[in-house]
Structure 1
């Protein structure tokens, strides 16, 4: 490892391993000889800030720049960014001579704990695997998830062990063994290091989520996108989350003061979402269902009309609650009954666009056609936020592709849709969120 702040190149010893072969942490012991200024302990700070030493002090990650001198508590060694073979720069030599300070060698002892996971893997994997070696992984609570390509599978146990040992807080490393389940969005996995414990607790947007990572969908890389969408919702808004998972949109939205109809087809997801609603104290603001997305869209429109949230009071901060208790003020009045859904969230990027065909049947249901027109004709149709993938990597072509597919599924033209780039999920695939207000023609 060569720090950008140091001229000294330090790399771990190379020991190329064979599949199933031994892995010895003692391989990574290394001694590095540097030079240091031997000076009175009382003058350490003075010399650390001395202008003549600027750019000459040792700056290596996880290595102390000042060390004690053995058997001499009154003396310190200020380490320099020099090896024993390097000439001593003139400003350093002049300063040392002027202050009668000895320039002396010092040996730094490095071991396995010093090196990063990437450095260790680079030194043990075959050279032809180094360029694309797995250094990135997703974390959910105590669990890290890697997606190893076939060439790395013979080394999966060691890769998992190194990742586990080099990341504090991890207890489990799993590897994806199959494609994502097309129905429930989770994938088969195997534990390659640590405890075979997939019940995790993750924190996001000030909320706590507990779930079985092996049975539900969770992507820690979408935290920013979750927060972005929730920021669009207002207190009192009625939000319908079609593919809610364990609640990363629904629960923060409810914590903000929105009212949420949250659905997922996966019974494991809705089981944990219900528990998470309880843990985050929003159970009275989130209704959880387990049904097909198309059926839920129809259900949500009718549920909002026939069975709205009632007697839900505005959320108060702890400061506001304390003030209310001290002043013996009555609680604030309940929120107005909301029978109009303001937002639909559709976070199933592989197929969510296809579910847009459910909105016309949902808003033309014969049993409620008059009421739907009455409510949404005056209050405005909901905003749709639909996540999707595209293989068009140029922004203009990506927008054309996504809008075309959305209009085909919806069966009508869109007016002023907006697209938000979320992330690149593969070298040839991007994730976007298309947002638009349902056109009035959907009710015809």
Structure 2
């Protein structure tokens, strides 16, 4: 239920570059209270007559001890003055010999939300589309401010930092995403210039430099969805692995992973994250072009398979094994064929499908795939077709052109809208056996 008392911070429009003065947002709010016996506080505040009349301002206590008096309390009502109180409420207070007292509530900068502070600080012509959305990655918040808000970037950053206590750094994107390594230039607009963050996702811990690698906190659900399709013992090839959001959880699931990225900063942190998550024996990291990696991965699996890799066990499984003196579990099966290729580079991944024909044609022991089956390709991509049916037609056409052959039984998963006129999908299909011909 809304309060009868409407409050907002004092308006204090700042000029571009002007420092935030937190004291300018102090406000004293007049409210009416009833002075009641302390012993009856609970009964009165829960009674039907008074409960609905209590002050409804968020984050403000409704029961106060006045001047250290132990015998009495003041309960605050949802009215600014006695004149604003309903007559029956006044009469009820008088009948019970409760003094009606005037009280003032001091609301300081900390009381107001970030949006309220910005709405009181930014120029009026910038309030309609005021920036409110940002992404959080570890201790860092990331904005993508439009040009008209750049003169106020430090104000926006400082307020964001003040109102989100877990944050230490606020950055703003200053350029388009790097087409090679997928990270973007940024500047610190508030807090520490520390872009090395730690993130928990899918039960794994990731550490990386947000300024040097690609990471999208909005893709956590997609990471989990794809990993859920993998089975223990599967051999996975992650073509554009980044710092490991697919590779590390897959390895924790007892998959064997060939993980690659062209960005050396990404593979540096991918290797560290493999160690930190205790899966370094089942994740092989390479730093090469995606097309070269696809060819490398096919032959690497055949020539140098993972061997003698014991499955990871939970603490309860290890305790049971020790208690019952059970032998260690059998190693994971040796896999010489790749079960899944992950291609999470939505801007251009479809173009890399042209690498599969030469990779499989040149592979030795092709008969292994005749026995074990062809791999499933999971290719993330963008489309500007916003209707699902049209999007699927567009994606399939581009995929088949790059692959150089028809794709049977494709599966399309809508991931998210990345811009008003651009959607992200994941195309999944089993690689045709004729690719080897």
Question: TM-score category by the smaller chain?
Answer: over 0.9
Contact kept, 8 Å, 2:19 with 2:155, in 1: the verdict is no
Q: What is the aligned residue count?
A: 437
- TM-score when normalising by structure 1: 0.93
- Equivalent positions of 1:106-125 (< 5 A) are 106-125=103-122
Task: Give the structure 2 partner of residue 51 of structure 1.
Answer: 48
- Equivalent positions of 1:221-300 (< 5 A) are 221-300=218-297
- Equivalent positions of 1:114-263 (< 5 A) are 114-263=111-260
Tell whether 2:406 aligns with 1:413. yes
Task: Give the structure 2 partner of residue 434 of structure 1.
Answer: 427
Which residue, out of 294, 303, 308, partners 1:306? 303
Task: Give the structure 2 partner of residue 28 of structure 1.
Answer: 25
Partners of 1:35 and 1:228 in 2: how far apart?
A: 55
- The CA deviation at 1:59 is 3.0
Contact kept, 8 Å, 2:44 with 2:51, in 1: the verdict is no
Partners of 2:92 and 2:275 in 1: how far apart?
A: 66
- Equivalent positions of 1:55-74 (< 5 A) are 55-74=52-71
- The CA deviation at 1:89 is 4.1
- Equivalent positions of 1:327-342 (< 5 A) are 327-342=324-339
Task: Give the structure 2 partner of residue 379 of structure 1.
Answer: 372
Contact kept, 8 Å, 1:121 with 1:159, in 2: the verdict is yes
Partners of 2:138 and 2:329 in 1: how far apart?
A: 37
C-alpha change, 1:51 and 1:264, in structure 2 (3 Å) is same
With 87-96 and 226-235 compared, the bigger mean Cα shift is at 87-96
C-alpha change, 1:16 and 1:443, in structure 2 (3 Å) is same
Partners of 2:273 and 2:329 in 1: how far apart?
A: 26
- The CA deviation at 1:273 is 0.6
- The CA deviation at 1:97 is 4.8
- The CA deviation at 1:70 is 2.1
Partners of 2:188 and 2:291 in 1: how far apart?
A: 35
Contact kept, 8 Å, 1:344 with 1:383, in 2: the verdict is yes
- TM-score when normalising by structure 2: 0.94
- The CA deviation at 1:351 is 0.8
With 64-73 and 154-163 compared, the bigger mean Cα shift is at 64-73
SS at match of 2:149: helix
Partners of 1:417 and 1:220 in 2: how far apart?
A: 27
Partners of 1:42 and 1:362 in 2: how far apart?
A: 83
Contact kept, 8 Å, 1:52 with 1:91, in 2: the verdict is no
SS at match of 1:72: coil
Partners of 1:364 and 1:128 in 2: how far apart?
A: 62
Structure 2: unaligned runs, 5 residues or longer: none
Partners of 2:183 and 2:207 in 1: how far apart?
A: 15
Please list the CA deviations of residues 31-64 of structure 1 after superposition, one character each: whole Å capped at 9, or x if unmatched.
1122333333333333333333454333333222
Tell whether 2:420 aligns with 1:423. no
Please list the CA deviations of residues 326-378 of structure 1 after superposition, one character each: whole Å capped at 9, or x if unmatched.
2221111111111221111111111111111112222221x41xx22x22223
Partners of 1:47 and 1:286 in 2: how far apart?
A: 65
C-alpha change, 1:288 and 1:96, in structure 2 (3 Å) is same
Partners of 1:362 and 1:392 in 2: how far apart?
A: 31
Task: Give the structure 1 partner of residue 74 of structure 2.
Answer: 77
Partners of 1:380 and 1:390 in 2: how far apart?
A: 30
